[in-house]
Amino acid sequence: FLKSTKELPLLGKKVVVTAGPTRERIDPVRYISNFSSGKMGYAMAEAAVSLGADTVLISGPVDLPKPAGVEFIQVESAAEMLEAVLENFDNASMVIKSAAVADYRPKEQHTQKMKKKDGDSSIELERTTDILRTLGEQKKDQILVGFAAETNDAISYGMSKLTNKNLDYIIVNDVTDPNGGFGNDTNVVTLLTGMGNQYPFEAMEKKQLAKVLLETIVADERPISD
């Protein structure tokens, strides 16, 4: 039988979650990436499903099973992630950007394996598009939730990202915390809201934390439109 809408506050709402790292190819055998495991993003997608959302999970390359009940879109690079997110943005109620998007990519992608040469020790890079900032510029009534992975001054960097990217919420993550960060099953975060509220959370399993975070966002003052 069906659960009530009180238990399923996201019933009928589309929630888009991005997760994992992106990979930016240098040549057919090499890439630039980061240590994101995808665990927090996958947990956020599972939490969205459990609250009744029509959940789209857009994932970079990770070593995790696909969560039950999501529409799954596999991507590799920041450019592919941008395209998939934009395709799903118009009718979304909420976008949760857990992915650790590479900030730079090689300016040139070599089609053949690069050979080492004496004296040739650098690759030219260019910036990737900031996906979340792009959404912040285009948003109508979508709720935008970002993550900030920081090693220092986490709250103040988080606040700047919340403002600069025009977000509704940001989940700030000190990746140097022994109970949190990349690859761990637990995480320690603070949720900052666009209205100026701060919700610090105890160290928790990522799966449990994701559920509590999403429930806190859903219960927060801003109504979530269809």
Catalytic residues: 34
Residue among 27 and 103 whose Cβ is closer to ligand CTP: 103
Residue 121, φ and ψ in degrees, nearest 5: -125, 15
**Residue whose CB is nearest to Ca ion in the complex, by number:** 103
Rounded Cα distance between 212 and 201, Å, is: 9
Provide the CA 163 distance to its chain's centre, in angstroms: 17
Angle (CA) 130-135-139 rounded to 5° is 160
Question: Least distance to ligand CTP from the beta carbon of 127, Å?
Answer: 8
**113 known ligand binder:** yes
Do 23 and 63 meet the contact criterion of CB atoms below 8 Å apart?
no
Residue among 86 and 195 whose Cβ is closer to ligand CTP: 86
Question: Least distance to ligand CTP from the beta carbon of 161, Å?
Answer: 5
213 contact choice in ligand CTP, Ca ion, none (CB below 5 to 8 Å, kind-dependent):
none
**72 known ligand binder:** no
Residues that bind ligand CTP (CB under 6 A): 78, 97, 99, 101, 103, 128, 130-132, 146-149, 161
Do 34 and 21 meet the contact criterion of CB atoms below 8 Å apart?
yes
**168 known ligand binder:** no
**103 known ligand binder:** yes
Residue ranges of the binding site: 103, 113, 147, 161, 165
Residue ranges of the binding site for CTP: 103, 113, 147, 161, 165
